[in-house]
Structure 1
Amino acid sequence: MSPSRRSPAPDKACIDAVDLARSVAAEVGRPEWVGAPLDPEVEDTRLVTHYFTCLDPAYPGWTYAVTVVRASRAKDVTVNEVVLLPGEGALTAPEWVPWKERLRPGDVGVGDLLPVEEDDERLIPGYAQVPDSELDAEGVDQQMVWELGLGRRQVLSETGREQAAERWYNGESGPRSPIATAAPARCATCGFLTPLAGELRQMFGVCTNEYAPDDGKVVSLDHGCGAHSEVRTPVSKNDPAVPVVDELGYDHIVFDDTAELELVSSDS
């Protein structure tokens, strides 16, 4: 077992180089930003780090650290490095997060490229690689082949479909959005809905009403809005009603038998 390493003996010249360390810290920052000296730390033989409180308003809780060194048999002390170190409660940058975890929907802009990893669980290999020339020669339906994934290197996996369905259904184009709860009817009965292809057609379609807020977007079948195809202009209640004249009915009048009726001639 190797003997335990002894702590290096403090070098007096390096310990006393407080003014040198302060002047270097002032050059890096400003003289008024270098505060009171703190306890120095002996790093190694003839290697000492001096600490000063940082008074810069932009760096509360930080400390200037100036490391000085003296070469063997040398009389002068020189500066090795000077840095700012964060202390307890110091304002620091958040922990670095890989770009893949920082990425959010809508971050990809014009000219941006978003690489897809080879093991992306949302994708699986296509069923086959069929040249267009062979398809044309055999007369295969190009649209059918495209929907099945033939000719594409990768297609959407079951996991990818489930993630997309959950994201769409729980989003603003799902049944729980405010506009859907106030809608007069569901998208499933709207003439402007175009169903998707494949399994997703059971739950989703694309809105094609240019006046609807979801035009060109995927919506759930139980979504809805005020631009439904069955909405009609309501009858105005302010229009006066047409009078109805009863020409067939009559009123039954009962006269008192004791009353004397006087016939009045129209000539009188």
Structure 2
Amino acid sequence: MIALPTRSGKPDSVLAKAVDLARSVVLEAADGDEVGEHLGAYAEGERVVTHHFACTTPGYPGWHWSVTLTRAKRGKDLTVNEVVLLPGDEAIVAPAWVPYKERLQPGDLSPGDLLPVEDEDPRLVPTYLVGDDPLDDDDRAQVRRVAQELGLGRVRTLSREGLDMAAERWHAGSGGPDAPLAKSAPDQCWSCGFLVRLNGSLADRFGVCANGNANDDGRVVTVDHGCGAHSEVKLARKQQPLPMPEHAFDTLTDDDLESL
């Protein structure tokens, strides 16, 4: 047996020696050919020791059986706390769980799908909070009810954090200055006649492409983005298509062909 000290100190000697008891507990949960050698014991706390046994089950390399034992002070009776199968450092395990909402990507929503926004979403603030006149809680609730009943505008609007997150995402995306399309463009969007500027605080950095022939048509682009469909782009003489030759006039007739 290999005793492995931990931050909790040296394992309790009585519990550390109870290898046979720990193995018998594992054999109640697994077949004999699924339990390998004893890998050691270490202290979980005062008079609490965990034994590890190698797992030989096919498909579980790097896993081990873990049995935790404990006893009362000056007591001789040992108690089994738990027995579990755990992965080691080199075990093959499933990736960490990511909630469905966080796994969604643009384009994943289908017709009829709903993606509700949390009440405390930092990207949004109540519209009635935007302004110079702060309201107390009762007044805010009243204004919100009245606005909803009368249909007066949006209940929430973008916060400063929401605007910054959108700006960072658009700048780093396919409509930003570092996109391959922009790197090879003859000019930037700020001088293109098809750029429709956004309103508000993002107007000096972003716009929407309105060129139906461009890859970014209908998408947000940075003013320093660009593409080959710029409104002022001109083809150099060497880039222009070669003129087609004149049509050949065929003087032969069907009779002439037959006489040949």
TM class by shorter chain equals: 0.5 to 0.7
8 Å CA contact 1:108, 1:114 repeated in 2 = no
Q: TM-score, normalised by structure 1?
A: 0.56
Match of 1:62 in 2: 63
From 205, 228, 231, give the equivalent of 1:229. 231
Q: Distance in 2 between matches of 1:20 and 1:134?
A: 72
Match of 2:28 in 1: 24
Measured against aligned partners, the alpha-carbon deviations of 1:100-122 in whole angstroms (never above 9, x if no partner) come to: 7x456527522141423335254
**Shift in Å at residue 219 of structure 1?**
1.0
Corresponding letter in the other structure for 1:63: H
**Shift in Å at residue 32 of structure 1?**
3.5
Structure 1 residues 120 and 85, CA gap change in structure 2 (3 angstroms): same
Corresponding letter in the other structure for 1:205: G
**Shift in Å at residue 190 of structure 1?**
2.3
**Shift in Å at residue 35 of structure 1?**
1.5
Structure 1 residues 57 and 9, CA gap change in structure 2 (3 angstroms): closer
From 175, 188, 211, give the equivalent of 1:173. 175
**Shift in Å at residue 80 of structure 1?**
8.0
Measured on the aligned residues, the alpha-carbon RMSD in Å equals: 4.7
**Shift in Å at residue 36 of structure 1?**
2.4
Match of 2:199 in 1: 197
8 Å CA contact 1:21, 1:50 repeated in 2 = no
Q: Give the helix-richer structure, 1 or 2.
A: 2
Structure 1 residues 238 and 154, CA gap change in structure 2 (3 angstroms): closer
Q: Distance in 2 between matches of 1:114 and 1:41?
A: 47
From 147, 154, 168, give the equivalent of 2:156. 154
Match of 2:106 in 1: 106
Q: TM-score, normalised by structure 2?
A: 0.57
Q: Distance in 2 between matches of 1:237 and 1:67?
A: 80
8 Å CA contact 2:124, 2:156 repeated in 1 = no
**Shift in Å at residue 183 of structure 1?**
1.4
SS in 1 for 2:203: helix
Measured against aligned partners, the alpha-carbon deviations of 1:69-95 in whole angstroms (never above 9, x if no partner) come to: 9xxxxxxxx998642133454444556
Structure 1 residues 25 and 171, CA gap change in structure 2 (3 angstroms): same
Q: Distance in 2 between matches of 1:79 and 1:61?
A: 24
Match of 2:253 in 1: none
SS in 1 for 2:153: coil
Question: How high is the sequence identity, in percent, across the aligned residues?
Answer: 43
Q: Distance in 2 between matches of 1:221 and 1:48?
A: 64
**Shift in Å at residue 170 of structure 1?**
3.3
Match of 1:36 in 2: 37
Measured against aligned partners, the alpha-carbon deviations of 1:2-49 in whole angstroms (never above 9, x if no partner) come to: xxxxx6956x9x76557744643443xxx4332224557899xxx997
Match of 2:254 in 1: none
SS in 2 for 1:202: coil
8 Å CA contact 1:124, 1:155 repeated in 2 = yes
Match of 2:125 in 1: 123
Extract unaligned runs of 5+ from structure 1: 1-6, 70-77, 136-149, 241-268
Q: Aligned ranges for residues 39-50 of structure 1 at < 5 Å?
A: none
Structure 1 residues 32 and 210, CA gap change in structure 2 (3 angstroms): farther
8 Å CA contact 1:25, 1:34 repeated in 2 = no
Match of 2:250 in 1: none
Q: Distance in 1 between matches of 2:177 and 2:80?
A: 68
**Shift in Å at residue 151 of structure 1?**
1.6
Q: Distance in 2 between matches of 1:172 and 1:19?
A: 58
